[in-house]
Structure 1
């Protein structure tokens, strides 16, 4: 089932998304949150930090698992997703560091690392609420357009368009990682609830394709049509063609 919530602008959309996560933590203090990185969730995290600082939100029992991490980057690298999460959320709230999980980009053994992460998610009892952004090509996590849906955590070769999109964060193209560890489509679909956030006119076409087009691995996010509980939160611009 798909529920669509529209915000007036990016800030309003971020507030609505934060309220969904706020409600999840309030109703289930020991919940497992699946978290995402990228520019879209920053506003959502800012709102959650504000709620915590006001004394309205307690992260002390929350566990988090992140969708992905660049292969080859350690958590102290300012372009790693561990660093991103520390900067935008973890270091500003009372979540226990040992309860925050991100794939280990420094593990050179892809099979071992992916197996470890799948096992971790299973041990935690799965994800209660999974936050997702949406790539311009329909990717969720780093599940890029492909000929089939990858089920579990895997090592992915990033597409040229994704590498190019990420290059704005690095001083040269040579520094941009070309691979990442990412949760698979199967991991994402097993989440009890999915919260997809989108912002801006540039996302309008892919939002429409994701939810009104065919289910195909060429548009990885289209698989969300099969999930029983998806909340799509977007600003007016991103939802304009839905």
Structure 2
């Protein structure tokens, strides 16, 4: 696992955008894994800028979302199907029909989870998966005690997660209690995991993920088992890391041609 402590969300966005641009340059048909929420927003804004100003093209790429609220219509403004389009997809040249998400209205959620995993596999797998982390350590919507080998399935949100997401709704009571999410096993099949976390509110979760034990109580800790995982944090999110100085030293002395 590589830990990069950057000065700001803008600096993090530039590093991640470089990695995505390199992938698209090497293979225009790259399959990306997209996350919603506040953490990846600066990355999307930087990619949109590069598309607009520098001609970075996503036209031949495809993308899969991490999760979706169960029972929320796709047309709802807070469905992740809608959110990823308003925040990213509508501003670049990717074919929106090539941006896939779990069907939160599926008649049989079990079958839908299996279908979604099969669709990712049929696409050749995800090359780079963007991730955020919740204050309780969840990635995707894999709440604490999720199996480290879990597949795409229905999960019940904790009240903390519903409270954290209430800012996107008029009231916490409008936040769905259930979601469909890629499992930790599904996420771990991506060839590169790139997790972004900013702000002091994420510091405890980041420390548990990076320096704590690999345990279901902190789902993000599954990144410790991955062959290519990069965690990018700002100073506030890094504030509880015991080995922060070492991570800075490693990154400062890393050959730049390696990227992330």
TM class, shorter-length: over 0.9
Show the counterpart of 2:40.
41
Query: What does residue 211 of structure 1 align with?
Result: 210
What corresponds to 1:154 in structure 2?
Answer: 153
**Two-structure CA RMSD over aligned residues (Å):** 1.2
Partner of 1:175: 174
Whole-Å Cα distance in 1 between the matches of residues 40 and 229 of structure 2?
A: 17
Contact 2:149 2:184 in 1 (8 A): yes
Asked if residue 18 in structure 1 is aligned to residue 17 in structure 2, the reply is yes
Provide the residue aligned with 1:236 in structure 2.
Answer: 235
Question: 2:146 and 2:190 mapped to 1: Cα distance?
Answer: 23
Distance across 1 between alignment mates of 2:58 and 2:99: 11
The separation in 2 between residues aligned to 1:211 and 1:170, in whole angstroms, is: 31
- Is residue 140–residue 181 contact of structure 2 (8 Å, CA) maintained in 1? yes
2:108 paired with 1:109: yes
Paired residues of 1:7 and 1:16 also in contact (CA < 8 A) = no
Structure 2 Cα separation of the partners of residues 195 and 149 of structure 1: 18
> Per-residue displacement from partner, 1:122-160 (whole Å, max 9, x unpaired)?
111111111000111110000000163352100001111
Task: Show structure 2 runs of 5+ residues with no match.
Answer: 242-260
Aligned twin of 2:67:
68
Q: TM-score, normalised by structure 2?
A: 0.89
Q: Matched residues in 1 for 2:147 and 2:115: separation? A: 23
Runs of 4+ in 1 over 4 A off after TM superposition: none
Q: TM-score, normalised to structure 1's length? A: 0.96
- Once the two structures are superposed, what CA deviation does each residue of 1:13-66 show, in whole Å capped at 9, x if it has no partner? 222222222222222211110110001111110000000001331101111000
Which residues of structure 1 form unaligned runs of 5+?
none
SS at match of 1:5: strand
